[in-house]
Each structure stands twice: as structure tokens, then as C-alpha cells.
Structure 1
Amino acid sequence: MYKQFLTIIFCAITLNGFSQNTKLETSIDDLSNRLVNSQEVAGITILLLKDDEVLYNKAFGYADVEAMRPLRTDNIFRIASQTKAITSVAVMILWEQGKILLDDPISKYVPQFKNPQVLDKFNPADSSYTTVPAQREITVRDLLRHTSGIDYPTISDDTKMQAIYAKAGAVTGIGNKGVLKERMELLAKQPLRYQPGTAFTYGLNTDVLGYLVEIVSGIPLDKFFQTKIFAPLRMTDTQFKVSQDQVNRLVTVSEKTDKGFAKVNHTIYENSNVAYPLEDEIYLSGGAGLTSTTADYAKFLQMMVNGGSYHGKRVLGAKTVELMTTNQLSQEVISHGDPVFRFGLGFELVTEENKFINAPSVGTFSWSGAFSTHYWADPKENIVGLVFTQEYFRPNHNDLGTLYKNVVYANLEMRTTSK
């Protein structure tokens, strides 16, 4: 009788889990099919893990809309700003080794950043400008949390900074040719948008950190990534340059037109070739240069969720991960920008202060890439989610990731109720 009772309980639990997974699968299928059929995305792949086990892994639509090549779950994407998290981890590896301090001035390692200047007056007629001295030096911490005052070329919302960068030849790091050292030394000569430490300014901060990694470690950024992060995590599909045997898995970039989606065959951003992952002499951008798959990037995120280790390989200490996923924005910075935005050392965060607008748990960290790739990781529920598409200048970019988060959290039974 006791055995029969246990069997009934086991079956009930199993059926409940199956029901939950079926409901989740159906809901994600419905959302994905709707987005593809309504021409809101050309193709999209979704990978969802819970407790380091795959709950969902499917692809919809096309990897190449022109050739009508179906998208697959192992396709390779330009992950652009998702590179930033990997570079941030590389910096923290050096920090753990006692080679840098977070509040070191970056000029200690890159002298060209000594005595930074802040934009004062700007003349739109010729993009000339005047500056005032920065009140303090830019620190490594500033670069990790984007409070250095460095802005982004081309995609900045400040037309003055766009004009200044364009005139100087500063670039986004998305497919640009050149050498990292030269690109960062040029950037160091440009004025800051804000005084260091006073505002969150999303910019080329992580490219500077990539150069820092090269200087302190003494090896190229791609080699550091490979030896310290990719190899331990068995990330075999993440790289700056796609190899010949991976070419057929690289997704083409699409853009929305009046007739639906079309393959991008023109140059992008600062006249870069859209096929830049296949080219030589592209500078190693720590902020935007990598390509990857959902499966590969999930290994990186699972490492972070696990407190710095993955399948027996430790990349970071647990306390380091805790520090990286703790809000680093001061009240002054918060009051200067979005009052509910919180950011750690390389990641956007869900905190008690902004939980009311987020479905994921407090402690969740996330970010996205310029071609509309999205990720989040929820340590409380041990969930890793990735939503990848490949679109040039997608409107309402961040909404896509939010749609999938909402569907996942509405249809998957959680182990706890988030506050």
C-alpha cells in the first residue's frame, strides 16, 4: 500500500512537470510563430535552461531571408554588446590575480587617458569644441559600470558627441578595421560627455577594458579569452573571426523594409562590411566584436549563475561574481538618469528598487547586442535564457527580450515566489 502511495505521488509530480513544460513549450512556440508570421522577426532562436538542464531549444524563420535558408539552433550570430560581459569577466580575472584594482585610474595602464577633458561648448558649424578639465581620473570601475563619461560613436543619443567622434574617426567597434591599441589611443584624445562618476553613459568603455586586458596580461585579447574563458567552459563556437568550417552557420543580417525583411548587403555603422566576422584585420573590440551561438553563450551564463564555475572548471570566485552582480551606480548617477536603472560590473540588474517592472527575480542580470540578441540569467531560480535574432537597427530593440521573459515566467512553475 505504501509503495502504491509513493508511486501515485511520483506519477503526479512527473505529470505536473510534464504539464508545466508542455505549457511553456506551447507558449514560446506560439509567440515565436506569431513574430515570424507577422514579419516582426526574420528568424529567431530561443534557448532556455533551468538547473543547467535544457527546457527549450528551438529555431524559427530564416538564417538567410534571401536564400530562404532555415534558421537552426546551432547557427552563429554577431553578438555585439554581449561581448561586454565576457570582457568584464576577463578584467575581473586580472583583479582576482592582484594585478589591478577597481579604483585604479585607467591612465596607470594607458597613459593617454591622463588628465581627461570634458566637453564644454560645441560649434555645430564645424564640430569644433572647448573643454574643461575632468574633476578626477577615469577608473577601472568607471569603465566597468559605464560612468567614465566616454560615449558611443554613431549610436549615441547626443548629436554633439556623434559629430565629434565622426570628425576624429572614432568608431563603434562593430566590424571596424584597425588595431586595438591605436583605436583606444585615438579615443583617449576625445572629450568626455560627462564628468567621470556622475552619469551612466553607455559607450566604448569596454573596448578600453579590452585594451587593459591586453596590457596587463601581455597577450592579445582573443588569446586571453580563449585560454582563460572559452577553453575552460568548452565554448567552441565563440570567437572574433568565424573559421572556414563555421561559415555556413553564420546568420546573415536582415532589416525591415516596406516589403518585409531583406538581407543587408550594404555597409553598416561606420561603413563596415556586414560580413566582418569573416574578414581579417578587424580590431579586437572588447565591447562588440564577438560571434557566438546560444548554446555557447549559455555556458558562460551558467558559469556566472553557478558562482563562477562550470562543470568542474572555475573561472571566477563566487564572491567576485557577487560583486559583479551588485549595483555599482551611486545615487548621484541614478538621479542623473533613469531612476529605476541599476547596473553592476558589466551587467544590468534586477533589484528590489526595479522589481516592479521586471518579471525575473531580484538578482537577475542581463544585457543584449546591437543586432537584437538578448540574454538573462536568474540565479534565484537557476534560469538562463537566450533569445537571438540578427537585425540591423531593430526598433524598440529591448522589447523582444522582454516579451520572452514575460512568457517564460508566466508559464514556468518557479521554486519561489519573487518579491
Structure 2
Amino acid sequence: MDTAAAPQVQGAWRIDAERLWSRLMALARIGATPGGGVDRQALSAEEIASWHAMIDWALSAGLEPSTDAVGNLFIALPGADRDAPPVLAGSHLDSQPGGGRFDGVYGVVAALEVLTTLAERGVRPPVDIVCVAWMNEEGSRFAPGMMGSEAFAGVRSLEAVREVRDADGVAVGDALDALHAAFPALRRRPLGFPVAAYLEAHIEQGPVLEAQQCTIGVVTGIQGKKTFDIVIDGERGHAGTLAMADRRDALEAFTRIAAALYTEIGGHDDLVKFTIGRVQVEPNAPSVVPECVTMRIDLRHPDNAVLRHLGQRLAELCDALAAPCRVGVTALVDAPSNGFDASLQQSIARAAGRIGVPHMPILSAAGHDARHMASLCPSAMIFIPCRGGVSHAEHEWAEPAHVAAGADVLLNVLLPYAAAGEGETP
């Protein structure tokens, strides 16, 4: 970790920290929960309201809002060459049902603040610099997550995205149509246009930066992730009359499978992250032998070879332990580990030094839209600490000074692209 508080270098630019914080708190009121958190689901009325706020702020700064077929929001500082690939910076506006005020939305508002600062200084960059809010990063309403960046990167087709339904049976396609109908005058961009570079600022969602008393994390990459739906089918029976030996109890099979998965997969090494995050039992009645159990598994590891092995072993264990029930294993997400652009990482470290804050390299344990952008263009992430490493919770918190510092770093990394201020082109 670079712990030396480097002196401020003449020429380092700063964003308006008070305006940035005020806008973050304004968006936190959209979908606010009683416990001080946020429930702003993808393509919901609350997300539409957050779009209205973002677009109003953009227009007041002379910036240009637009969208695309999958519901990504773009806000551009126009450049001299409007046809050249732009530079993108952003994250997402949707939240978990009991999420916090900073996850995702910080990266979007920080990017908007950078563009506003550049516009106020009369900067006209060589190419467009664009703030982006990706659609449905969280995947809490529509699964899986990162739909906007996946469709943009060509990982998932628009048609496949539109067919997904939420727990109430609402299709993404219908929710997208409602979103676009709320903004009939918004210009429509082509899906998946070329991009020169991508940057994403985010809270760490872990305890490392806080423990190291470090303000900026220079993210080296994102660990790999696999998710699975596992369905165990048994047979319904009367709890009072069906002998134990004659039962095909799906919940009993689940307990065997779950115990083995926690032991062998979850205990593979110190780097693995294994979670059974959702379990549904049918018919879920007190006097009925369960006939079906569905569970959702989240499996992560930074080593792609280990991740592949564990994913294969997971399926083998399910098959071996399900009898006398049947089991089906469906892979939902297969996202290998990725690294971020070395030159951009160096630019982030230099920018942190310019504004005088400590920085360190860090691997992202959580997934982000930057994962998909890294396959399209030079990409990188900037982390700031969050209190206690807590995220996806109502008491998620980031200090105002750290919020401002991350945006200052983002601004100074983007300055060479804007042909403003001092610095080397990344």
C-alpha cells in the first residue's frame, strides 16, 4: 500500500464534493426504506424517478442524455469528434431490496459530477465522455443480474433479456417498454456501440480498505463467479401415514446435498466463496412430505481452473446424493475471473497520488458491470472504503471525504481523455 500522503500537485482538479453528496442523498430518498436504506428495483417506478433526477441534472449542465434498447442510461459531455468511440464511466442505479445508499449509484453520480465539473470549466474533449447507468446490475428483481452490460457486450441477446420475468410474472420486455414510454423524447443509441475506455467507481463492499486505512483501491480484477439453480424432485406424501422407508422426501435429499456441498465445495480452500442464498420448499406445509426443493447457489473463486473444477464437482455431488429423488442442475451464470487494464491501473494510482490520498491494489470479490466492459475496451475500477465492509444492507455507509476522493481520482484519470490539465494519456 502507498501510505505516504503525497503533496498536492499543482494542476490536480477537484469535483464539487458538496454537490456530489447532496445528489447521492437526493437519490437515496427515491425508494428509501424505514431503516435508512434503499429499495430501487430495476425498471421500477423508483428507477424511473431516479432517471428523471439524473436527466434534470444533466440538462442543467448542458449534457446530453440518451438510452438504448436494453434500458441503459447514457449522459454525454459532447466531444469534438462525435463519431469517435467515447470514453464511458459509471455503474448502476438499481439496488437490492434492502440495499444501501452507495452501492452502484455512487459510481453513476460520481461520473455525472465529473462531467459537470468539466462542462463548468468549458472543456470540450476530443471525443464524447459519457456517464452510464447500466440496467439491472443487481439481478434482484430480474435474474440474472448485469443484463444491461451483458446485452451491451453481446454476452446476452436483447431477445433473451426481454423474455425474463420477475416473481410477479412481469417480463423485462414489458418493463423496458414502460421505461422508454416514460421518456419518449430521449434519443436512442445503438446497442453495443464501440467504446475507447471504461472506468467504474464503487464502494469496496468488503473490509480491506478500511482495515488498511486506505482511501483508494486500485482494482486489479474481479474474481470468477458461477451461479446454479438446483431442483430436487421427490414425491408428496402424508406426514402421518407414509413410512420413512417409503418416502421420496425432497427436503431430506436437500439436507444431504447441502451438507456435502458446504463441506467439499465451501471447504475447498481459503479463497472459495460458496453460498446457498435461496431455498424454496413445496408444498411447504407442516403435515406434508416435501415434493420439491429449489435452491440457488453462488460460487466464486479468483482462479478460473479451480472455479471450473468446483462447478463440475458440485454437479457430481448433486447427482450422487439425490436418490431416491431426482435432481436437475442448471447453470445460470458462468463469469470467469478477469483482470483490468494495467495502464489504467497506473493512471488511478497516479491520480490518487496527485490528490494526496493513500492507495493500494485490491481484487474485487464482488461482480460488477466492468467485468463485461473489460472484454470490449481498456477498463478499470476505483474502490473507496465502506464502513465495516458492509454492503447490500440498509446500514451501508461511505464517508463523505472518501466519496469525494474517489470522484476526484476519477476526474483526474479522465483529464487526459478530455485534453485538459496535466498528465499522461493512459
Please give the TM-score of this superposition, normalised by the length of structure 2: 0.24
Higher RCO (Cα < 8 Å, 6 or more apart): 2
Q: Which has the higher strand share?
A: 2
Give 1 or 2 for the bigger CA radius of gyration. Answer: 2
Please give the TM-score of this superposition, normalised by the length of structure 1: 0.24
